[in-house]
Amino acid sequence: MADPRITIVGASLAGLRTAEAVLAELPQARIMLVGDEPHAPYNRPPLSKDSMEALAGGQAPRAEVFEKLLLRSKIMPGQIEMRLGVAAAGIESGNVRLEDGALLRSDFVVAATGIRPRRMPMQGAADRRHVLRSFDDAEALAQAMRPGAQMVVIGAGFIGCEIAATARKLGLHVTVVEPAPQPMLRALGHRVAAAMAALHRRHGVTLLTGRSVETFEAERVILDDGKALEADVIVEALGSRPNTEWLAASGADLSDGVLVDDRMQAIGAQNLLAVGDLARFANPLFDDLPRRVEHWCVPGQTAKRAAATIAARVSGGAPAPDFAPMPSFWSDQYGMRVQAFGAPALAETQTVVEGDLTQIGVAPIVVEYARGDHLVGVIGLGAPPALIARYRARLMDALCAPVTA
Ligand SMILES: Cc1cc2nc3c(=O)[nH]c(=O)nc-3n(C[C@H](O)[C@H](O)[C@H](O)COP(=O)(O)OP(=O)(O)OC[C@H]3O[C@@H](n4cnc5c(N)ncnc54)[C@H](O)[C@@H]3O)c2cc1C
């Protein structure tokens, strides 16, 4: 296979980083990057933060806001082909069929189609319901975010909480409805989640936990306890669904994203690999259970791995044996950075090792997370980089230490 044809589907962070990594390994590869959005690859995290504020506040023209989001790339013009604004519709004998009928002959297909927001199943209030995943979503939501408007955010995960924080800054009245007892509970654990709840309330958010939405009326959201919330803007921030429909005939395990081995090779589909939010893989730093990880760091890590796998298959060599990336994520709320390393969601216990949770948003805090006797994660809340770096190094040492019985 002298000049392999590689089709990468999904022209966002994972797709772009895969194209770069493949070119670095196989400069002769013929790469086609396909994306259903009309835009060149851009960065999503600012959509719920600075870009949302700029779009809603009208501080900068739309084009200027988008320009800042564009992902910088090492790819030179002409090094790869790109088809934007067209979706992949299916896999036929290992090749990619596009929605417009074109068939892209492929020696390897890399799936980088990410996820999309889940929606509430009920009808109603269609003109005021929003989700946030894309730049177009952000623009539509920003247009509705006027100072003094009543916003109801359904779901207190990171995206819901970031939108709530941005909306408060813009002068909206915000109510967040969450069925769990605390916001961001799974990712942060009870104690830190409770502190985050206090932070949101301190900033004027009405946080209704243990509640869910029963129905939508024209201008109101009705909760399961009968309470009616006035709503000019409704945001559904309920989590995600992987974009795997186009892979239905691939033979891959699509039970939650694409199940891959530690080389990003799809189980059950010979020439298919998956990267980014879509890929479900085990991380030996923690255990052998495959999981999808929706953090910004994962596209880059999995892209390099997938490229090494393709290069090894083209040249007959073997990729490096272990794939054990350190997960990390951040979130910005009310000017405070939440920064996490490892897998705090797997922990059974939390220990505050710096600061005091009652001082959230005021003074730096660091919390370590353990499963049994083993450190599995660390989270900094407004912690300066040098401080959190120290605990990250401690976590890395603990995760890499041999486990003794
Ligand atoms: C609002 C927001 C804020 C975030 N904030 C943070 C943060 O603070 N910290 C953090 O760690 N992470 C954050 N993330 C997560 C981070 O942005 C994602 O982990 C990252 O974007 C995943 O990249 P990806 O390329 O795998 O998927 P995506 O970025 O979802 O890209 C997938 C692309 O594939 C396209 N596609 C889907 N189906 C098809 C098809 N059939 N054919 C062609 N193209 C298709 C999609 O339209 C999309 O363009 C945030 C995400 C969002 C949405």
Q: What are 19's two structure tokens?
A: 């194209």
Pick the atom of ligand 1 nearest to 13's CA.
25
Mean pLDDT per segment of 10 residues, for the chain of length 405 residues? 92 98 96 98 97 88 94 93 98 97 98 97 95 97 96 98 98 98 97 98 98 95 97 97 98 98 96 98 95 96 97 85 92 98 96 98 98 96 97 95 57
Residue 144 · residue 153 · CB < 8 Å: no
Pick the atom of ligand 1 nearest to 41's CA.
49
Ligand 1 pocket: which of 296, 304, 339 to mutate (most atoms <8 Å of CB)?
296
Q: What phi and psi values does residue 272 have, to the nearest 5 degrees? A: -105, 135
What pLDDT is recorded for position 52? 94
Residue with token string 């941005």? 166
Identify the DSSP state of 247.
G
Asked if the structure places residue 179 within a domain, the reply is: yes
**Nearest Cα residue to 383 out of 328, 325, 338:** 338
- Å from CA of 372 to ligand 1 middle: 33
**Nearest Cα residue to 112 out of 274, 306, 303:** 274
Note down the domain range covering 385. Answer: 335-400
Distance between CA atoms of residues 287 and 275, nearest Å:
20
Asked if the structure places residue 320 within a domain, the reply is: no
What pLDDT is recorded for position 205? 98
Q: Could you tell me the CATH number of the domain that includes residue 204?
A: 3.50.50.60
Asked if the structure places residue 329 within a domain, the reply is: no
Distance between CA atoms of residues 165 and 189, nearest Å:
20
Asked if the structure places residue 163 within a domain, the reply is: yes
Asked if the structure places residue 260 within a domain, the reply is: yes
**Nearest Cα residue to 253 out of 267, 243, 241:** 267
Distance between CA atoms of residues 254 and 243, nearest Å:
10
Residue 135 · residue 112 · CB < 8 Å: no
Ligand 1 binding residues, C-beta < 6 A: 9-15, 34-37, 44-45, 47-48, 87-88, 112-115, 132-133, 159, 243, 246, 276-278, 294-296, 299, 329-331
What pLDDT is recorded for position 403? 55
In three-state secondary structure terms, 95 is strand
* Number of domains within the chain: 3
Asked if the structure places residue 269 within a domain, the reply is: yes
173, 179, 183, 184 alpha-carbon torsion, rounded to 10°: -130
Distance between CA atoms of residues 293 and 353, nearest Å:
26
Residue 250 · residue 239 · CB < 8 Å: no
- Å from CA of 217 to ligand 1 middle: 31
Residue with token string 């909206």? 172
Q: What are 387's two structure tokens?
A: 């401080």
394, 397, 402, 403 alpha-carbon torsion, rounded to 10°: 20
CA R_g for the chain: 22
- Å from CA of 255 to ligand 1 middle: 19
Which of 238, 269, 286 is a domain's end point? 238
Instruction: Give the up-direction half-sphere exposure of residue 5: CA atoms within 13 A in the CB hemisphere.
Output: 8
245 in the same domain as 204: no
Pick the atom of ligand 1 nearest to 134's CA.
53
99 in the same domain as 21: yes
For 145-184, where are the alpha helices, taking DSSP H only?
158-169
Distance between CA atoms of residues 221 and 217, nearest Å:
6
**Which residue owns the Cα nearest ligand 1 atom 28?**
114
- Å from CA of 99 to ligand 1 middle: 21
Ligand 1 pocket: which of 13, 44, 244 to mutate (most atoms <8 Å of CB)?
44
111 in the same domain as 11: yes
What pLDDT is recorded for position 405? 42
**Nearest Cα residue to 371 out of 248, 279, 281, 289:** 289
Which of 192, 208, 238 is a domain's end point? 238
What pLDDT is recorded for position 402? 61
Residue with token string 């939501």? 141
Query: Other C-beta atoms within 10 Å of 172: how many?
Result: 22
Residue 285 · residue 371 · CB < 8 Å: no
Asked if the structure places residue 57 within a domain, the reply is: yes
Distance between CA atoms of residues 117 and 140, nearest Å:
15
Q: What are 357's two structure tokens?
A: 């949770």
Distance between CA atoms of residues 237 and 272, nearest Å:
31
273 in the same domain as 232: no
Pick the atom of ligand 1 nearest to 332's CA.
8
What pLDDT is recorded for position 2? 73
Residue 264 · residue 101 · CB < 8 Å: no
- Å from CA of 330 to ligand 1 middle: 15
Asked if the structure places residue 321 within a domain, the reply is: no
Q: Which amino acid is it at 167?
A: A
What pLDDT is recorded for position 59? 77
What pLDDT is recorded for position 401? 77
Q: In whole angstroms, what separates CA 10 from the centre of its chain?
A: 14
Pick the atom of ligand 1 nearest to 10's CA.
34
95 in the same domain as 24: yes
